[in-house]
Amino acid sequence: MTFSVHGITVSRGVAIGRAVLVASSRVDVAHYFVEPDQVPAELARMRAARNAVVEELQRLQAEMPKDAPPELDALLDVHLMLLQDEMLGAGVKQFVIERFYNAEWALTTQLEIVSRQFDEMEDPYLRERKADLEQVVERILRQLKGAAQPVAAPPPRAPRQQGFELDDTLDVPLVLVAHDLSPADMLQFKKSVFAGFVTDVGGKTSHTAIVARSMDIPAVVGARSASHLVRQDDWVVIDGDAGVMIVDPSPIILAEYGFKQRQGELERGRLVRLKNTPAVTLDGQKIELLANIEQPADTAAALAVGAVGVGLFRSEFLFMGREGKLPDEDEQYAAYRAAALGMHGMPMTIRTIDIGADKPLDDRRADTHLNPALGLRAIRWSLSEPAMFLTQLRAILRAAAHGQVHLLIPMLAHLREIRQTLELVDKARAQLDARGVVHGPVRIGAMIEVPAAALSLRQFLRHFDFLSIGTNDLIQYTLAIDRADESVAHLYDQLHPAVLRLLADTIAEGARQGKPVAVCGEMAGDPAMTRLLLGLGLRSFSMHPSQILAVKQEILRADTGKLAPWAQAVIESDEPAELLQA
């Protein structure tokens, strides 16, 4: 039966494919594809983990004190029985053999399937066994985590789906459906080919959404109970423009979306022709179009759309999902140098680590802070871990010998933080000098993403060479709306007069003092915002490579002389959205 689930649109276009469920689990689970020749080893890893749990439970039984309640012994019997049951084991094996899922992913997927069967059972005793099954699976996951193998680089695309009941000789497009995806998971998935994804949680500028945009695949977040409503292998359509997922579409709906998908492809084809067209407005204003990247390899995508540099390299992605083992100076240096070389002398703006809130180093559920978005994140964390921060700064300064590297500092709010940061940059330089290690010059910029920073521009401009406005956080902190919380996503308003005022003032003050100001938040990559930002005087935009050509198209049609008075009217209006559409 066809039904639809509504969420928040984060990435445009249409995807049609089979649902791949990524079940959530209390244990942090890695999801990746294994190489076909690694399948036997992966099955052996699974068997070893299961056998270890069997031994663990048998030991518990043997060591049970005499006065222990008899129910406990019976419960362990049930757990042992579930462990041996083929209902779990056979399915897991199938997912590894046929889909090349890693053991953890196969296990949580099968758990989800079996849990649903339990939910449908009439007998309340049997229904309650679901909780036992979850506990057993959690034990296996913990064993697997303990015995985790270094994550093999996943193959560049999802393997051929040999196990599908239908179309089993075809490459069926896959659509990810999950409760949530960690940023680290997203990076893994980025190396595979997925046609689109849907998550239950998340907002327009949550990091999951941001990575989706960088993957340039249709996506919907904040779709509430999507992962419960969809079953493994269901056919789904994702309408990224409308923020809707349609499950089990009828042939008429499929045909309609097939048409829409082809239209989208044609439009993309037309935009590609703009790649080498200079980004100049009708009145001759040259506009700088820069790329946002997460990994050095993303420079290829930036060059492919004609970006003239990188305005934001989110370095934190190098640090994520490494079980606490942070990359050392040489590893970071290699990554930053690769990024700098990848841009062939064009600017490479490396932002120092921005960890915390919705970008945890490892398991986000482990974050026990009361309010991580207001807590120890970004530069605050870096300043609290000076050895880690100095390591990163040295690596960036060394990479600066190989390209035009800029250093960008996230989340600054206090003058004290500015001073400490700049002192640490000097110290990192001195340490390299003392070791006789080559390093290069960097221009240092600050992100304006906390209202306090936007309201103390004079200090920021005095200390920094350039500013970059992080509208994602600036909106979050100005409006007190968690950017990752779908329940308040309707209040996350980029056109709120307070947001526009801070934006306009920052751009104007930078121009007055002759210091470059860019916008690197998602607003810069939204073609609906291009004219407004141009009218406010913005001349440097940094965004996902996937957005660059659409924004360039807007720029080529714009006349900044006419847009300037209109933009002032927009920011003073009670209904900016209406003026924007006019």
Which residues are known to be catalytic? 207, 520
Q: How far is the CB of 190 from ligand PEP (least distance, A)?
A: 16
Order of strands across the sheet with 235-239? Answer: 3-6, 244-247, 235-239, 14-22, 174-178, 196-199, 219-221, 8-11
Q: Residues 442, 460: contact at Cβ < 8 Å? A: no
Region near ligand PEP per CB under 6 A, out of 68-76, 331-339, 465-473, 551-559:
465-473
Interface pick for Mg ion out of 298, 473, 485, 526 (rule CB under 5 A) = 473
Name the residue nearer to Mg ion (CB basis): 239 or 316: 316
Q: Is 526 in the site for ligand PEP (CB under 6 A)?
A: no
- How is residue 380 written in tokens? 């605050």
- Which of 470, 510, 535, 576 lies at the binding interface for Mg ion (CB under 5 A)? 470
In whole angstroms, what separates CA 407 from the centre of its chain? 22
Residue type, 245: M
- Count the Cβ atoms, other than its own, within 10 Å of residue 154: 20
> Site for ligand PEP (CB under 6 A): which residue of 112, 185, 294, 354?
354
Q: Quick one: which of 445, 521, 535, 576 contacts ligand PEP (CB under 6 A)?
A: 521
Instruction: Assign 11 to helix, strand or coil.
Output: strand
Interaction between residue 473 and ligand PEP (CB under 6 A): yes
Q: Measured from the CB of residue 520, what is the shortest distance to ligand PEP in angstroms? A: 5
- Chain positions 276 to 335 lying near ligand PEP, rule: CB under 6 A, are 312, 314
CB of 373 to Mg ion, least distance (A): 10
| Partner whose binding site includes residue 28, from Mg ion, ligand PEP, none (CB under 5 to 8 Å by kind) | none
Q: Which stretch binds ligand PEP (CB under 6 A): 26-34, 223-231, 416-424, 468-476?
A: 468-476
Could you tell me which residues are beta bridge partners of residue 407? 350, 444
> In this complex, which beta carbon is closest to ligand PEP, that of residue 14 or of residue 502?
502
> b/e per residue, 535-544, with b = 16+ CB within 10 A?
bbbbbbbbbb
- Work out whether 358 is an interface residue with ligand PEP (CB under 6 A): no
CA distances from 388 to 109, 242, 294, 421, 427 (A): 37, 43, 19, 13, 13
Q: Which of residues 426-455 bind Mg ion (CB under 5 A)?
A: 449
Q: Residue 340: enclosing H or E segment and its boundaries?
A: helix 329-342
**H-assigned helices in 436-523:** 451-454, 457-463, 471-479, 497-512
Q: CA 358 from chain center: how many Å?
A: 9
Q: List the one residue from 218, 347, 360, 470 that touches ligand PEP (CB under 6 A).
A: 470
Count of chain residues binding ligand PEP (CB under 6 A): 11
- Using DSSP bridges, classify how beta strands 219-221 and 196-199 pair: parallel, antiparallel or unpaired: parallel
Positions that interact with Mg ion (CB under 5 A): 449, 470, 473
Positions that interact with ligand PEP (CB under 6 A): 210, 312, 314, 354, 449, 470-473, 520-521
